Structures are given as structure tokens and as C-alpha cells.
Amino acid sequence: MEIAKTYDPTIVEAKWYQYWLDNQIFASRPDPAKEPYTIVIPPPNVTGLLHMGHMLNNTIQDILIRRARMQGKEACWVPGMDHASIATEAKVVAMLQERGIDKKSLSREEFLAYVWEWKEKYGGMILKQLKKLGASCDWDRTRFTMEDSLSEAVTKVFVDLYNKGKIYRAYRMVNWDPKGKTALSDEEVVYKEVQSKLYYVRYRIVPENSIPGNEQTPHPEIVIATTRPETILADTAICVNPNDERYRHLHGKMVVIPFTDRQIPIITDEYVTMDFGTGGLKVTPAHDLNDYELGKKHNLPVIDILNDDGTLNDKCGVPKYTGKDRFAVRREIVKDLEAAGLLEKTEEYRSNVGYSERNPDTVVEPKVSLQWWLKMDELAKPALEHVLDDTIRFHPDKFKNMYRHWMENVHDWSISRQLWWGHRIPAWYDGQGNFVVAANQEEALGKFQVQYPESTGEIHQDEDVLDTWFSAWLWPISVFDGFKDPENADIKYYYPTNTLVTGPDIIFFWVARMVMAGYEFRHEFPFRDVYFTGIIRDQYGRKMSKQLGNSPDPISLMERYGADGVRTGLLFSSPAGNDLIFDTPVPKSNKPDDIANFLKTNDPLESKLCEQGRNFNNKIWNAFRLIKSWQEAHQPPPTPSKGGGFATLPSEGVRADVAIRWFEARFQAALAELEDHFSKFRISDALHTVYDLAWDDFCSWYLEMVKPEFGQPISREVYAATAGFFDRLLRVLHPFMPFVTEEIWQSLEPRQPGESICVAEYPKAEAPLPTPPRKEGEFLAPLSGAGGAAILEEASLAFEVVRQIRNLRNGQGMSPKVALELLVSTPDASAYESFGSVIQKLANVSAIRVNDAPDRKHESRTGTGFLIKSDEFFVPLETTVDAAKERQRLQKELDHQIGFLESVDKKLGNEKFVANAKPEIIENERRKKADAEAKIKSLQESLASLCG
């Protein structure tokens, strides 16, 4: 078989993904003989396109599900989409405007027909893009929150909660989007720091017994600072701190709203901060959440001066402002206040202003509105309890405190939205203002006859729809039709699910609510573990977003670096819950001129992380090419001497035997590390373990140890062992790099149609076996030690010797072709018996003399030495050592070891690491510390001798 010189992901990825689909590799069905492993995808918006956050989130999900599938579990990853009421409606309204159609001219049914048309044509693009990433979802299970079955589930839950008294209808404060003309959830409000102005406005005190409008007598004033002067017209009180001596004489007085004859009281409350602004606060219950709460406390009236579109209504009391946009009125009222002598001064002021996430140019208004609400206090109790007691585990667990704070201070949920696209609220009204909640109109008519027998005329359904999160919180249950058929085979087998992968920014709006729904409707948790990804940020620390224009196009990234390259590139710096800096260059702003100038000198797809991922792919590919290039040839095992002694075995056989035994031990150690990392959801650490195993241990050490001399064959035994190692290595790599591993695995040996590495058995960690006794004629070199641990220790020493000799060559400018002699003074010669042939080959050492005339390093022959632990080494040289170069080499190595020691000390000084890591991992770090300290001492002594 001819193997391509370079790996081409553009050909490989499409080929194998289609192969997986054709062979139903990702399909899952309940199987009582197997353990289920279930993930439900955080459903992306039907309007969405793949962004870097999706890439990271879905890569992690795919790693987890692929590994579970290979472990023999019944792995089920359910994909789907969210209908995204606000975003989708905005998209369709924009589409209609391009066609010259105004939404207002359409009936609800006509508008929804256009929405479904748009959904069928453009919706779900992101799911197609996820396939390019390699997402191994069971695509036959794809769900959509607006499909009939899931819509019925939403209705059923609403009716159930209403009948339980947990859903009610009331006037309360909400976030209002004047452009979308709908209430928003807190999650749909994006706060931006903007440059504002602070206006100091004079409110005139009404003298006792004064006649409103009589301005003949001068009036005292109180000055109030505000950033929203247009809301003055909705004020219902002025509030001061009762302990503020400046205003004690004004308690109980009245002031006049500018440009009106309406009077409001001066009240007192310790809520007011005396040292902010003037120490006085205008109270506007209809247009500020805190003012709304203050107004309820003091029984203040609520005057809503804003229409749904953000214009002022006639309640403002000033006809000239009525019908004008809120910001136009702000500009106008400031001029009028100044002309009337009521504007004392204006200051520049930076403040956080809320914008609609779906209409990014629209400032959100706090607004008192008649909405449907869900009581959260009782729902929150089990959801909090079972996270705090680790029934549901957070990774990292630092998010438990954030979760607890929110759940202990939970507020009722505003669940209605003033839109047409979405799940319509199942409430019906008659002409007299009565209403009932029912699953359908027929049921509603029956309820009206019972509850309101006097009701006459037709009934109509509520015009509003439910918050998108109201369907999303049911997702782990509804995707398995757990509401439609609570005892069906899927829900009983796959639920509770295993792992949820999501971002911490929706921990309250989605994660917490799904937990509530799980305990309310299934009486158990919806998932066992929650893995929180970090937020992907650019080089300036900003969250990547389309609005900022600071995010690379994921599809273009995959086209350049391959899906495997991008997947591994993302994960190289993605510890759970911590933000990561993605390294593609970005402009400092999204202004057209800045972007144009940026593109002249920068490549927006340049990424060292993804390049590292691509290079890793190529490294594995080149290892494959090397292995397949070796020609198998039978070489009978050598016959050892009567005693089976070391010296009777040819060096090639000894070295190969040592390499095989060492890599088996190293592979087992890596599997144990992987198991520990995955059990703690340290996915990035798991990748680093596999990376080191593949790049360093397998490619850089093992293959070099067993590689035959140029033009020589390799024994069948060694080739079989090497191919076996490579096969197992591909399996642990596969969850991270699915495409390149499938391509190589299929070509490593003949496979049957339908076979795939996706379902090949995942290697299991086993305890290393002790070295068995030798049999006559056996192709095995005698190794010291009781088993794997001893082999790893001896290998570590041998590799360090090789590194030191290579560094010596580089420092002295010596050719690697020049064979060197190595003298060793050591109390334990076992490692040099086992790994002597390895050192000789990899460092080009002609002979190793162990404890042979230890004084030879003091002979007249020139040379240089080094120390590893308690072993002393001397390399005789034909020419005099360049002292300056040797000092430079030693100093460089000393600096490296000092830095390494600092990193180990930092890790061992981390109380959390020491408390959570396994004892053997901590012990390994302590050994690293001792080794580094010994090397530092040796290097310092060597430098001192050169200087002396």
C-alpha cells in the first residue's frame, strides 16, 4: 500500500465522517447488557452558526462520548436545536423587511408560516458544521424544541405547575426590549460600560399652605443627580437617608415635578447612600428595579410613562414630549431644564448600561409589566441541596459557591414573552377578563363552563409565548419523551444523563433550572456531572464575539489546520472553568478602518495553538509511515549462554527487548494518569498526557530504540510489538483526534467492512507484571527490578544520560557521528546492564565502562563530566574542552533546572493539589524535586571547577 507523504485532512475527514454515518457508528439503542453513557447537547439556537465557544464545548462532549463508546458503554449523544424566540423572530422580521413586508400587516398564522419557511431553509446550519468538527452525535435522535412532542411537553408542564399554584400572572418589573417589544430574561441582557452624563436637577420644595403654580415667592430646592432625566416625569418620591443632617428639615415635605403641577413627597430610607451624588435619590418605581422595590416598601404609586416601543405616553404629563422616543426626550428635557434654571450642572460619568442581547443596539428598559411568573422558592430547595451534597458534581467545584448564592436568593421567573414565535401560553380569556389555563381550546371551554358559567362570547388564547428557557429547562427529559410517555424505554434507560458540558455564564438560567425540573418531574437529578468550560478570549482579554469582530471563523480554521488540529489546539490551554486566551491575532476594535489596516499586516487565522495541533497530527502520521516502511523478516531468537547471561545476547535484541518492556510499563503508567484525569474532568491534562506519551515516549524514544539500521530488516516479534503499541496508542488518541486516528488505524492492518476505531476497545490500565524468570532460548534480556516501576526509573536515568551527552555535543559543536566513550561511577550498575545498549545507540557511545578504573577521569586525557543523582559520568575527548562553551552549556542547563524546580515547588506548595492528587502523583513530584536539586548541586560544582 502506498502511503501519502503528508496527511491531508481535507480528504480524510469527509471520507471517514460519511463512513461513520453509513455504518451507524453513532446510533444508540437501549441495551440492558451495557452501561449507558448519555450526554444531551446544549441546544444551539436554530439561527446560530458555529463559533469558538461551540467548538470548545462540543469538542469536550465528543471526547467524553467517544471514550465511553470505546469503553463498551452504550454511548448516546443527543443533538438538537433551540427555537430561540427572540433571535429567530428578529431574523424573520429582517427577512420580511427586505421583501417589503411589514410584520404588522400579517396575521399571526401568516407570520409563523414565514418563520417555518425560514427555519427549513436556513435553520440548523450549526448542526451541519458540528459534523465537520467530528461530533459523534446520534443524528437520528435530533430534536427541536418546537417539534410537536416537545411543544406538548411544554404545555403539559405549564398546566401542571399552574394547577399546583406555582405559576401566576401579575404586574412586576421586567427587562424590556423596546425594539423587540418583549420582556427579556436577565441572561438576555448584556451590560456594557459606556460614557454617560450625570445631570444635577433642582426639584423645588412646595412651601406649606402654598398654592400650586404660584411662583411669586422663592422656593427652597433639593438637587438630585440622575443619568436618565427623561424619567423625572415618572418620579413618585424623593428619598434621603434619615441620618443625613443636610435634609432633616425636609422630611415629609413635597416637591414639584418639573414642567408639571404634580407633587411628590420627600421620604426617608437608609437604602440611600449619603456620599453618592447629592445624597438624595429620585424614586421612579416604574423604570428602575431598585426603585420598584423601594416603592413597594413605601406604598408609592407606579407611573409608567413609556410605550412598548420606547416612546413616551400621555402619563408623562407634558404633551410636547408625548409620542417621542425616550432618548430624543432626554436631549430635549435637558435643554428645557437648563432654560428653566433647573439644571445645576452636568458631569461626565461612566456607567453600566444593559443592552438587548438579540438587538445589540437597543438599551433595555426596566419596566413594570403584566407577565406570567413561576414561583421558584420551593423548586430551588432540592436543586440546591443535591448540588451542595455532591449528588450532582460540579467541575470545577468552585462554581458551587456561585450556584449556592443564587439559589439562596432566588427570584420568581418571568416566563412570558411578547412574541409570536415560540410556545404559546396555554391560557384562554373571555370578553369579561376571566381566564383559564388548559392544554387546548376544547379543554378551556369546558373549564369556562364550570368556573365562569356566566361567561359569554368567544374565548381567545393568550397572545404571548413562553421564554425559550422554559422549554430548555425540560431538555434532558423531553428529548427522551419523558413527559409524553414517562415510562418509555428510552427515558428509563438513558435518564438520568451522565454529563452536561456548558459554560458558567448560564449556570443560573439553564443548569439550575434543569436541576429543578429533574427533581420536580422525575424526582431525581438530570445529570451526574456538570463540566464548566472557560470563556474563550482574545489576546486583549475580551470575550470572543461576532459583535466585536474578534473571533476567527471556525470553519476556516478547520480548513487550514484540520478538525483534529483545531480540536487539540483548543484543548492545549483549556483547563475546566478557567478562561483561555486563543491566539489568533485580532484588531483592537471593529471599526472598518481598524479592521482594514489590521488585515494589511495580519493573518486572522494564524494560530500557534492550532499549528501545534496540526504538527501533532503530522507527527503521528510520520510515525505511521516509519512503521509501515519497515520490512518484516524472521530472525530467530539468539541462544543465550548456559546461564542466560547478559553478554551473550546481541545488542539489537537486548535493546529491542528493553524498549518493549519499558514502553509497556510507560503505557500502563499513562493509562493510570488518563483515568485519574478523566475521573476529575481534567480534559486538557488528559490531552497533555496523551501528547507526551505519543510524541516523546513513543516517537522520540521507543521508535528510535527499536528502529533497525538503515536497510536492515526488523524482526517479526519487534514489529508485532511495535504495531500493537501503535494500535493501542491510536485508541487513546482517538477521542481527541478522531479523523487521523481512524485513517491510520484502518491502514495499520486489514480491517473488515464496517469496522471502526470508534468502537475498538479502549485500553485498560493493568498493574505491571513482575519480570518473569527466563527460559532457555527465550528472546528476552534480563532486566533488573521487580517490574514496571523499576523499568521506568532505569529508563529515566538512561534518557537523562542520552540528553546530557547530546547537550555536550551541541555545546562543543561535535558531530553526532563521532562515537564517544562513557565512564560511569555508580553504586548500582543495573540500569547500565539493562539500558546500556539504548544509551550506546541513541547517544552514539562506543563503549560504557561501569566502575572500571574510576580514577581514569583524572588521567591526562581531556574530557568533561556530569552528575545524575549519585552517578558520576566522564566523557573522554580527543581535543581540549572549550571552557567558555562548556560554562555556557552548564549555565543554560542550570537555569533550566532552577526554573523546573520552581515549578515543582509551586505545585507541591498548592494545598488544593496536594489534597486532591493521588499519593503516587505527589510522590512522583517529590522525586522530581529531589532529582532537580541533585542536578542543580552537580551543575554548580561543575561550574565551580571550571571557574577554579
Give the pLDDT score at 340.
95
* C-alpha to C-alpha distance for 714 and 633, rounded to whole angstroms: 6
**Residue numbers in the chain where pLDDT is lower than 50:** 211, 214-217, 634, 636-650, 768-786, 854-860, 948
847 C-beta neighbours (distance < 10 Å), count: 12
Place of cell 565551580: 944
503 C-beta neighbours (distance < 10 Å), count: 18
C-alpha cell at 100: 417589503
The residue count for the chain: 948
With contact defined as beta carbons under 8 Å apart, do 374 and 161 qualify? yes
3-state secondary structure of 561: helix
Give the pLDDT score at 210.
52
Backbone φ and ψ of 262, nearest 5°: -80, 135
Backbone φ and ψ of 288, nearest 5°: -160, 130
Give the pLDDT score at 631.
67
* C-alpha to C-alpha distance for 849 and 876, rounded to whole angstroms: 12
| Residue 256 bridge partners (DSSP) | 204, 263
Buried/exposed code over 146-175 (b: 16+ C-beta within 10 A; e: otherwise): beeebbbbbbbbbbbbbeeebbebeebbbb
- DSSP E strands in 813-883: the ranges are 820-825, 845-850, 862-868, 871-877
Report the predicted TM-score, pTM, of the whole model to 2 decimal places: 0.85
* Averaged confidence pLDDT in the chain: 88
* C-alpha to C-alpha distance for 768 and 788, rounded to whole angstroms: 5
* C-alpha to C-alpha distance for 517 and 413, rounded to whole angstroms: 14
520 C-beta neighbours (distance < 10 Å), count: 19
> Using N-to-C axis directions, what is the helix angle for 52-70 and 554-561, rounded to 10°?
60
Angle at 340 between CA 339 and CA 344, to 5 degrees: 85
Give the pLDDT score at 645.
29
Buried/exposed code over 858-893 (b: 16+ C-beta within 10 A; e: otherwise): eeeeebbbbbbeebbbbbbbeeebeeeebeebbeeb
* C-alpha to C-alpha distance for 557 and 613, rounded to whole angstroms: 12
Distances (CA, A) of 827 to 292, 626, 770, 791, 832: 81, 39, 23, 17, 11
Place of cell 414565514: 114
Which of 424, 441, 587, 473 has its CA nearest to residue 40? 473
With contact defined as beta carbons under 8 Å apart, do 808 and 877 qualify? no
Which of 500, 532, 619 has its CA nearest to residue 568? 619
* C-alpha to C-alpha distance for 566 and 740, rounded to whole angstroms: 13
Place of cell 427541536: 144
With contact defined as beta carbons under 8 Å apart, do 196 and 349 qualify? yes
With contact defined as beta carbons under 8 Å apart, do 438 and 444 qualify? yes
* C-alpha to C-alpha distance for 789 and 697, rounded to whole angstroms: 16
Largest pairwise CA distance in the chain: 127
With contact defined as beta carbons under 8 Å apart, do 509 and 503 qualify? no
* C-alpha to C-alpha distance for 731 and 748, rounded to whole angstroms: 12
Buried/exposed code over 546-562 (b: 16+ C-beta within 10 A; e: otherwise): eebbbbbebeebbebbb
Question: How is residue 341 annotated by DSSP?
Answer: T
Give the pLDDT score at 8.
93
With contact defined as beta carbons under 8 Å apart, do 892 and 909 qualify? no
